[in-house]
């Protein structure tokens, strides 16, 4: 699949910068997105769900205890313009 098509579909690729605008306002901001790899998501994945969830890590937090959000729905994030 071409990079252009990826962007047209709005797919999030691992390592992409995304903006979180979901249900936790205090966590709204920019994160690095990876596919969520917790038990629940891996199981859902193996059942063929199309509802992909993401693990978000705050790239601007300290290395000690970075803020992470797991099992984030696709509709709660938008690819950041910073990728362009
Ligand atoms: Zn998960």
Give the model confidence (pLDDT) of 32-49 as tens digits: 999 999 999 999 888 988
Distance 9 CA to ligand 1 centre (A): 22
pLDDT of residue 63: 66
In the chain, how many domains are there?
A: 1
**Can you give the C-alpha Rg of the chain in angstroms?**
13
Q: Report CA(71)–ligand 1 centroid distance (Å).
A: 4
Question: Would you say the C-alpha torsion 1, 53, 10, 56 has a positive or negative sign?
Answer: negative
Domain membership of residue 27 as a residue range? 3-83
Report how far ligand 1's centroid is from the alpha carbon of 73 (Å): 9
User: Distance from the CA of 57 to the center of ligand 1, in angstroms?
Assistant: 13
Q: Is residue 83's pLDDT more than 50? A: no
């Amino acid at each position: 699949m071409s990079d252009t098509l990826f962007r047209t579909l709005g797919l999030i690729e691992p390592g992409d910068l995304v903006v979180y605008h979901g249900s936790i306002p205090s966590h709204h901001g920019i994160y690095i997105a990876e596919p969520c790899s917790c038990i629940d998501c891996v199981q859902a994945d193996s059942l063929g769900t199309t509802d992909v969830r993401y693990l978000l890590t705050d790239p601007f937090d300290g290395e000690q205890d970075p803020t992470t959000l797991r099992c984030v729905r696709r509709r709660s994030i938008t690819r950041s313009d910073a990728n362009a």
